Structure 1
Amino acid sequence: MSIVTLARFQFAMTTIFHFFFVPFSIGMALVVAIMETMYVVTKKEEYLRMTKFWGNIFLLSFAVGVVTGIIQEFQFGMNWSDYSRFVGDIFGAPLAVEALLAFFMESTFLGLWIFTWKMVSPKLHVVFIWLVTFASSISAFWILAANSFMQHPTGYTIKNGRAIMNNFGALLTNAQLWYEFSHVIAGAITMGGMILAGLSAFQLLKRKNSETSFYKKSIKIGLVITLFGSLAVLMAGDLQMKALVKEQPMKFAAAEGEYDDTTDPAALTLVAWANENQHKRVFGVEMPYVLSILAYDKLSGSIQGMNHINKQLVKRYGQRNYYPPVNTLFWSFRIMAGFGMLMLLVAILGLFFTRKKNQLLYRQKWMLWVLGLCTFAPFLANTAGWLVTELGRYPWTVYGLFTIKQSVSPNVSVTSLLISNIVYFLLFSGLAVTMIGLVIRELKKGPDYEEKRLQEEQRSSADPFDKGAFE
């Protein structure tokens, strides 16, 4: 195992685990904000119970997301110091704004939301959670501003071997930023809705009491949010993939498994496998015309293959291997798209089968099981999408400017990387087990746990000689 391989594996491990919780916390913050808004508007106590109960799940995701984010920060100094030197001037501004403005705003208003339930009016209190939701989205915006520079560099000059920012506005108007941001936020909305509906379905499978209405309403809200989020993901993803045809044609061709230039019109490959050593496809099943429609919104147009694009890149940047891991990209893209369409279908059918006239979903255990298992779908879809985004620009860390081999710290060793990989893996495994355990514990407590606990505390602390104690 080489230093580059171990460093890449460690970065992939920390990034993927952190990205489990970024859309989780953004999506659940929106879910909780919607529920509390419904309480403020309708004055129905059930929406307040929902806000507090699902708010606990959101707080757990936020806490673990902060821990994993801090761990990820160490990556740049530990294993990617040359990369940090190269992009430090570019990354400094957006990451500083994210930490000093967005994250501080998010944590400040989250603290106010947690501790001021009985201190401020409901109208002011719901403002706090909406500000948390807004700040978490802005935090993602600044992180993605840095990532978008890696995908499509803009607003820079090269001085003494380093990228120096000369146009901050260009960084913010980078088209790739807006494609990524809309895609990530839409995915987060979908995730929040799907987790809400899925966990509620699991609760309905084992609860046959007064809490049934609570979880039925949660499912309905979750499915509505999932529907809107899934449609937004579909639109954002379509725009982002069309942009790749021009900006990163190698990534697009790899995601479609196309080594040779396609015919005109281009067919979409449904399933395929590639021989990556010989740079050719072993087999594939195609649908005619569909790729042209997806890429150009018309029934004509061909796609350049990876072999053709590789020759262009060799002429432009010099002799090296520009082929990304094709099979990983091809199947990651289909996993992302497949689970995305699955969540859209589940949302549509779920809302159809929870109508007042025909609530079939609540009576069929197998339907509840399907909905419950879909809790894991957004995690798989988001992870697969992130793999496409990051692996697709191989061999670059900053597309066209800086390679992976140039980015690795010069003073790390295989031994140190192997040890830190093992430590991080054990740490992440422990965090995952803890997170799952705490979520299960919150679900077992039920929505009335805090209220019952407060009532018991009041009874135990009551004055035995007080008149009310004998009533």
Structure 2
Amino acid sequence: MDLLDIARWQFGITTVYHFLMVPLTIGLAVLVAGMQTAWYRTGKLRYLKMTKFWGKLLLINFAMGVVTGIVQEFQFGMAWSAYSRFVGDVFGAPLAMEGLLAFFVESTFLGLWIFGWDRLSKGVHLACVWAFSLASVLSAYFILAANSWMQHPVGVEVVDGRPRLSSIWAVLTNNTVLAAFPHTIFGCFAVAGSFLIGIAAWQIARHHRRSGADDEDRRAWHGSMRLGAWVAVVAFAGLAISGDVQGKLMFEQQPMKMASAEALCHSEAPASFSVFAIGDVARSNCEDVKSFTVPYVLSYLANGDFHSEVEGVHALVPQYQEAYGTHYPDDPRLGRLAGQPIDYVPNLPVTYWGFRFMIGFGALAALGAVAVLWLTRRQRFPEGRWWAPLAVLAIGLPFAGNIAGWVFTEMGRQPFVVVPNPDPSGIDGVWMFTAQAVSAGATPGELLTSVITLTALYGVLAVVEVFLMVRYVRGGFEAVMPPEQPEDSESGGALSFAY
């Protein structure tokens, strides 16, 4: 592998691993805040138990997310210094806002929430968890604003061949981020909902096997599972709606990505949506690929009507070549790609199947949530040995769907790391090939060493997180609730923490 390939592997491994933590933290933080609100309003013990149990798992995941997220900052400078210089003037503002307005607020109020039990009033303590959870959502917005600028650059002017920020408001209100943000947040709630379902189902099955199990605990687990199911169902509906909006924007802004997502080699009018394909979608002629299609649907997804034409890969390639050239610059820093023809078609198997895995995993998770709502109606507890292990395994479905969606989004825009703005009113010259973004000063050996080291470190961190998660899941409510004190005992003012 050359320098570019190793740099891309490093970015892919570290980013995908980090993104496993992010959606669970965002979705679970809001749900924990809702649980504490229910306890604040009703005073029922089961809501307090739910708050503390799910809050404990939230804290473990949040800590691991912070550790893995720090690496993202360093790898840009190490492996992608040319990219960092190109986007630095634009990214400085939203990333500074993310740090100052979101992450600092998030961390501050999380600390107050952790150590504020029995030290703050119930109302102030509740406000802390809401501040923390909403700050995590705000943090996601600023990160997505930066990522969306790479997908659709706006709010800049070109100075000496590099983009200079001219309107932070344009960056923050980019129509790409306005579509991507709700889609991402709904994805976070889908993850959190399935997480609640799986763990609560295992606990209910466990309590069913135990004699003398606390009925109050069973009701709390039942409530957690029902909450997770409703959240997952609503989240999938939101994903479908926001995904349709986002897809129409992608057809306008990155037509090659969407043509590749359908393995649509030839333009069609009306265009059919391919549900799945049999054959080698990597071959550019598509002649040996047999697809099961739904007529007219792709035309609607692309343009909002059932009869419009959707351009295929073969029609788009000449347009890209005319606009951005047929060959890479003859620059030694580009390595083996220097002076070579530019391939404007992304990896078709990755984009095609990534798009379908994203939808398919999400749909399976939603169907599972609907089944849970049916099985647990009227305070029922599902019977049988099959459903609890199945619910635990289903935790991974929305995680896999989220990862497939991000892989599709990032790899589908290749060979660009910053995609050109195709709008007639767009800014000329603001685009960058991925091959030009890698650090010229790094060596393949250095990057390969960092990839191996980070992968090994992340493997250790994965073991630590799974160990801690399993430990506290097994402990149940007893592991997070303080022991009951005799009525005549005196605390003597001893310091007590929730966690």
TM-score, length basis structure 1: 0.93
1:390 aligns with 2:415: no
Deviates more, 1:195-204 or 1:278-287: 278-287
Q: How does 1:192-207 map to 2 (within 5 A)?
A: 192-207=192-207
Deviation digits for residues 249-286 of structure 1 (CA, Å, limit 9, x no counterpart): 01111111111112x22111111244535453531222
Name whichever of 54-63 and 361-370 sits farther off: 361-370
- After alignment, is 175-184 or 202-211 more displaced? 202-211
Q: SS state of the match for residue 158, structure 1?
A: strand
Name which of 348, 368, 383 aligns with 1:326. 348
Cα distance in 1 for partners of 2:281, 2:356 equals 18
| Corresponding residue number in structure 2 for 1:341 | 363
Aligned to 1:270: 275
Contact 1:32/1:55 (CA < 8 Å) preserved in 2? Answer: yes
The 5-angstrom pairing of residues 365-376 of structure 1 reads 365-376=385-396
Structure 2 residue aligned with 1:256: 262
Quickly say closer, same or farther: Cα 1:280–1:117, change in 2 above 3 A: same
Distance 1:74 1:243, change over 3 A: same
Q: Decide whether the 8 Å contact of 1:152 with 1:399 is kept in 2.
A: yes
User: For residues 479 and 9 of structure 2, what CA distance do their matches in structure 1 show?
Assistant: 42
Give the conservation status (yes or no) of the 8 Å contact 1:335–1:381: yes
Counterpart residue identity of residue 374, structure 1: A
- Contact map agreement 1:154 1:174 (CA 8 A) in 2: yes
Secondary structure of the corresponding residue to residue 285 of structure 1: strand
> In structure 2, the residue corresponding to 1:448 is in which secondary structure?
helix
Contact 2:183 2:242 in 1 (8 A): yes
Q: Structure 1 residue runs of 4+, over 4 Å off? A: 452-456, 458-462
State the alpha-carbon separation in 2 of the partners of residues 97 and 380 from structure 1.
30
Provide the C-alpha distance between the structure 2 equivalents of 1:379 and 1:355, rounded to a whole number of angstroms: 26
Per the TM alignment, residue 449 of structure 1 is displaced from its structure 2 partner at its CA by 2.2
Q: CA deviation at 1:335?
A: 0.7
Aligned counterparts of 2:248 and 2:90: Cα–Cα separation in 1: 26
Count of matched residue positions in the alignment of Structure 1 and Structure 2? 458
2:435 paired with 1:405: yes
1:162-181 equivalence runs, <5 A: 162-181=162-181
Letter in 2 for 1:76: F
Distance of 2:22 and 2:485 partners within structure 1: 35
* Alpha-carbon shift at residue 161 of structure 1 (Å): 2.6
SS at match of 2:308: coil
Equivalent residue for 2:111? 111
**SS across alignment from 2:481:** helix
1:138-158: CA deviation from partner (whole Å, max 9, x where unpaired): 101111111011000001112
Question: Residue 6 of structure 2: SS of its match in structure 1?
Answer: helix
Flag the 1:21–1:424 CA change in 2: closer, same or farther, 3 A: same
Instruction: Verify the 8 A CA contact 2:102 2:138 in the aligned structure 1.
Output: yes
**Residue in 1 aligned with 2:460?**
430
1:217 aligned to 2:237?
Answer: no
**Aligned match of 1:465:** none
3-state secondary structure, aligned to 2:377: coil
Can you give the 5+ residue segments of structure 2 that lack an aligned partner in the other structure?
327-341, 421-430, 493-499
1:183–1:233 contact (8 Å) kept in structure 2: yes
Task: Quote the residue 1:157 is aligned against.
Answer: 157
1:180-195 equivalences in 2 (<5 Å): 180-195=180-195
Q: Which residue of 2 aligns with 1:469?
A: none
User: Residue by residue, what CA displacement relative to the aligned partner does 1:290-335 show, whole Å, maximum 9, x if unpaired?
Assistant: 2223333332122110111111100111012101011111111111
Show the counterpart of 1:421.
Answer: 451
Contact 1:141 1:181 in 2 (8 A): yes
Kindly provide the amino acid, as one letter, of the partner of residue 99 in structure 1.
G
Q: Quick check: 1:259–1:281 contact (8 Å CA) kept in 2?
A: no
| Equivalent position SS for 1:321 | coil
| Change beyond 3 A, Cα 1:461–1:234 | same
TM-score when normalising by structure 2: 0.88
Which residue of structure 2 aligns with residue 444 of structure 1? 474
Q: 1:155 to 1:450 in 2, by over 3 A?
A: closer
Preserved contact between residue 263 and residue 281 of structure 2 (Cα < 8 Å): no
- Give the Cα–Cα distance (whole angstroms) in 2 for the partners of residues 460 and 37 of structure 1: 29
Give, in angstroms, the shift of residue 434 of structure 1.
0.8
Partners in 1 of 2:178 and 2:107 — Cα distance? 25
C-alpha contact (below 8 Å) 1:204/1:215 kept by paired residues:
yes
Q: Take 1:354 and 1:231, find their aligned partners in 2: how far apart are those partners?
A: 21
Provide the C-alpha distance between the structure 2 equivalents of 1:44 and 1:234, rounded to a whole number of angstroms.
36
Range that drifts further, 251-260 or 116-125: 116-125
Asked whether the 8 Å contact 1:275–1:281 carries over to 2, the reply is no
CA 1:461–1:139: 2 relative to 1, 3 Å: closer
CA 1:35–1:281: 2 relative to 1, 3 Å: farther
Q: Give me the identity figure in percent.
A: 40
* Equivalent-residue separation in structure 2 for 1:197 and 1:148 (angstroms): 32
Q: Distance between the aligned counterparts of 2:92 and 2:23, measured in 1?
A: 23
CA distance in 2, matches of 1:275, 1:299: 25
Aligned to 1:301, which of 305, 308, 311? 308
Distance (whole Å) between structure 1 residues aligned to residue 481 and residue 95 of structure 2: 41
Q: CA deviation at 1:430?
A: 0.8
